[in-house]
C-alpha cells in the first residue's frame, strides 16, 4: 500500500512522544475549557514537519495546528484523541491520521497506543489491524453494542429520550471517552455502531476509510455523505446492518442543535 510505511512510521514516532509525557504533563486549557498537553502540540508539530518533508504540496488540518497546502489533498490529524483521559492516566486515547483528497478520505490510521493496536486502510485495499485483515460483524439490532461520544449541545431531554429508547430495545450503550477507539472496534467486529455529535473533522476522518474498507458504513448524523476537510455534521459509524435503525433513533434529536 502506497502510504502505509510513511503513516505507520509517523504513528510510532507520535506514540513515543505521547508515552514520554504520560506521567509528566503540563496541562493548559483552551477557550472551550478542554485540556491540551505538550504531547498534543509536539505530535501535531511532528505531523506538520513530516508532511512538509514528504508531501510538500499537501495541507495539514490538525486539532492544535494546521498548514495550508497547494492542492486538494489534506492530512487531517488528531494528535491525541482522548486528551482528557490521557491527562488522567486512563488508557483511552489514540493517535489519528487521515489523508483526504477533495473532501474524500482515501487513507486512515488509528493507533490505540496502550493496546498496541494499529488500524490502517487505504481506499480499495482493505482494512487491517497490526497487518491482519479485519471486517465488521453482521450482527443485528438485538443486543447491539453502540458507543456514543459527548453530545455537548443537545438538550438533556433529547439525550435521555435517545438513550432510553436504545436501552429499551436491548442496546448496550457504551461511552468510551475517545471516539476513534469506538470506531476502530466497529471496524474489527467488536461493536456494531458508534455515533458522535462533534463538528471537528479530526474526530471522524481517520475512521472513515478504515470502517468502509472493513465493510461498514459511515455517514453524517442525517444519513448523508459529507466532506472531511472541513467542519462535519457529526457521524454515524456502523456495521451497515443496523445503520438505518440507529439513524431513525437519532432523528429524535433532529430539532436539537449540535
Query: Among the three residues 84, 105, 133, which one is the final residue of a domain in this structure?
Result: 133
Are residues 169 and 102 part of one domain? no
The answer as to whether 140 is a domain residue is: no
Are residues 222 and 123 part of one domain? no
| CATH number of the domain bearing residue 150 | 3.40.190.80
Are residues 32 and 58 part of one domain? yes
Q: Give yes or no for residue 256 having a pLDDT over 60.
A: no
The answer as to whether 138 is a domain residue is: no
The answer as to whether 180 is a domain residue is: yes
Q: Give yes or no for residue 53 having a pLDDT over 90.
A: yes
Are residues 108 and 24 part of one domain? yes
The answer as to whether 34 is a domain residue is: yes
Query: Among the three residues 108, 133, 158, which one is the final residue of a domain in this structure?
Result: 133
d(CA 128, CA 241): 21
Q: What's the pLDDT at 258?
A: 40
d(CA 170, CA 159): 17
Are residues 26 and 96 part of one domain? yes
Question: Dmax of the chain from CA atoms?
Answer: 53
For residue 104, the surrounding DSSP H or E stretch is strand 104-112
Sign of CA dihedral 173, 236, 44, 17: positive
What is the three-class DSSP state of 122?
Answer: strand
Q: Are 81 and 183 in contact (CB under 8 A)?
A: no
The answer as to whether 139 is a domain residue is: no
The per-residue pLDDT for range 139-192, each reduced to its tens digit, is: 999 999 999 876 665 666 677 788 888 988 899 999 999 999 999 999 999 999
User: 0.75 exceeded by the pTM?
Assistant: yes
Q: What's the pLDDT at 151?
A: 65
Are residues 123 and 44 part of one domain? yes
Number of domains within the chain: 2
d(CA 14, CA 7): 10
Are residues 175 and 96 part of one domain? no
Residue 69, domain extent? 4-133
Are residues 159 and 118 part of one domain? no
Are residues 194 and 73 part of one domain? no
The per-residue pLDDT for range 57-103, each reduced to its tens digit, is: 999 999 999 999 999 999 999 999 999 999 999 999 999 999 999 99
Residue 132 pLDDT class (50, 70, 90 cuts): very high
Nearest residue to 253 (alpha-carbon basis) of 179, 153, 170, 173: 153
| CATH number of the domain bearing residue 98 | 3.30.540.10
Are residues 96 and 117 part of one domain? yes
Query: Among the three residues 133, 153, 170, which one is the final residue of a domain in this structure?
Result: 133
Using alpha carbons, list the distances in angstroms from residue 11 to 6, 87, 109, 119. 9, 20, 8, 11
Q: What's the pLDDT at 43?
A: 98
The answer as to whether 223 is a domain residue is: yes
Amino acid at each position: 500500500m502506497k502510504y502505509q510505511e510513511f503513516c505507520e512510521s509517523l504513528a510510532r514516532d507520535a506514540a513515543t512522544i505521547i508515552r514520554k509525557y504520560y506521567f509528566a504533563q503540563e496541562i493548559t486549557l483552551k477557550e472551550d475549557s478542554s485540556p491540551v498537553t505538550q504531547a498534543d502540540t509536539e505530535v501535531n508539530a511532528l505531523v506538520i514537519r513530516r508532511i512538509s518533508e514528504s508531501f510538500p504540496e499537501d495541507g495539514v488540518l490538525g486539532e492544535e495546528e494546521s498548514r495550508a497546502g497547494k492542492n486538494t489533498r489534506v492530512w487531517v490529524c488528531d494528535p491525541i484523541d482522548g486528551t482528557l483521559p490521557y491527562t488522567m492516566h486512563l488508557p483511552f486515547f489514540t493517535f489519528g491520521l487521515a489523508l483526504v483528497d477533495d473532501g474524500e478520505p482515501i487513507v486512515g490510521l488509528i493507533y490505540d497506543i496502550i493496546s498496541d493496536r494499529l488500524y490502517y486502510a487505504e481506499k480499495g485495499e482493505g482494512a487491517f489491524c497490526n497487518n491482519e485483515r479485519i471486517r465488521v460483524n453482521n450482527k443485528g439490532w438485538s443486543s447491539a453494542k453502540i458507543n456514543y461520544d459527548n453530545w455537548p449541545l443537545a438538550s438533556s431531554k433529547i439525550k435521555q429520550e435517545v438513550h432510553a429508547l436504545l436501552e429499551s430495545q436491548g442496546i448496550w450503550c457504551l461511552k468510551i471517552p475517545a471516539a476513534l477507539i469506538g470506531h476502530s472496534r466497529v471496524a474489527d467486529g467488536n461493536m456494531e455502531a458508534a455515533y458522535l455529535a462533534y463538528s471537528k473533522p479530526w474526530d471522524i476522518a481517520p475512521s472513515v476509510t478504515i470502517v468502509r474498507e472493513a465493510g461498514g458504513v459511515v455517514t453524517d448524523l442525517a444519513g448523508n455523505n459529507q466532506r472531511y476537510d472541513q467542519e462535519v455534521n457529526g457521524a454515524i459509524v456502523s456495521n451497515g446492518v443496523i445503520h438505518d435503525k440507529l439513524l431513525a433513533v437519532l432523528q429524535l434529536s433532529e430539532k436539537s442543535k449540535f
